[in-house]
A and B are shown apart, each in its own frame.
Chain A
Amino acid sequence: MSNQSNVGMTIDDMRAAARTLAYPNTETERANIKRIDEEIFEKVRVLENGILANATEFITNSAVDLTAASEFTDAILEDVVYALDTSNPDVDAIAGRYEQLRGQAERVAKTLERLDREAAWHAQRVEDPYGSYVSLVSKYPTLRPSIRLQ
């Protein structure tokens, strides 16, 4: 078997090239194709581990914002809406409380919109770690795995 250069190849090119090389027998061919796939998959697996860890951390950290949203929703309902719906509401005091709640509640609502966008980004990476790895090595070619084709 001859050594073949993989300079400038994408990881898909490398895997495809392994399938088009000449081999002395089927067993050698299967073993080489398996080795190259596994070497590349191992690299993707490392990135996937990081992607999953980041996504899990993101989910855990966002719990506090969901709790805050729920607390603000309840507070606005109880301290403002229900308080105004009484026979003689102290409108000035309720307005003061509402101003306190409104500014922070709007910030929480914006945070939830941002979290929705971030969750979509994490989900896209979780669904396609291989694609993320392809993008990574395409952007930073020096990170491209050095894999012996034969």
Chain B
Amino acid sequence: MATQIQLPEFPKRGHGTALQLESQRKRYRIAGDALRRELAKAEDAFAAVLADRDQRDQTKARLAAMARKNRADNLKK
């Protein structure tokens, strides 16, 4: 069969370009990962700040309630 004959390969010239493309692919992945990591970090930072703010609000509310109760108790005395 003619198709079983070993044929010389085409002498391609794009090895350098192929390496460049592989390097680009790494850069796209690294850049994309860094971007998603910072987005996640920002979400976490917001969550931490809001949790802290909630805690402060609750503490303030508790302190205000205690102050009101103390004032009321003092008035009774």
- Chain A residues near B (Cβ < 8 Å): 12-13, 15-17, 19-20, 37, 41, 44, 48, 51-52, 55-56, 59, 62, 66, 69-70, 72-73, 76-77, 80-81, 84-85, 89, 91, 95, 98, 102, 105-106, 108-109, 112-113, 115-116, 119-120, 122-123, 126-130
Contact = CB atoms under 8 A, between A and B. Distances in A.
Given A66-B28, A98-B46, A130 B9 contact: yes
Given A48-B14, A108-B35, A129-B10, A123 B45 contact: no
**Main secondary structure on A side of the interface with B:** helix
User: How many of chain B's residues touch chain A, expressed as a range?
Assistant: 35 or more
What 6 A-B pairs have minimum CB-CB distances, sorted nearest first?
Answer: A16-B2, A126-B14, A69-B31, A112-B32, A130-B10, A123-B21
Given A55-B17, A81-B41, A109-B36, 12 more contacts: A16-B3, A16-B7, A44-B10, A52-B17, A62-B24, A66-B28, A66-B31, A76-B38, A89-B49, A109-B35, A119-B24, A127-B12
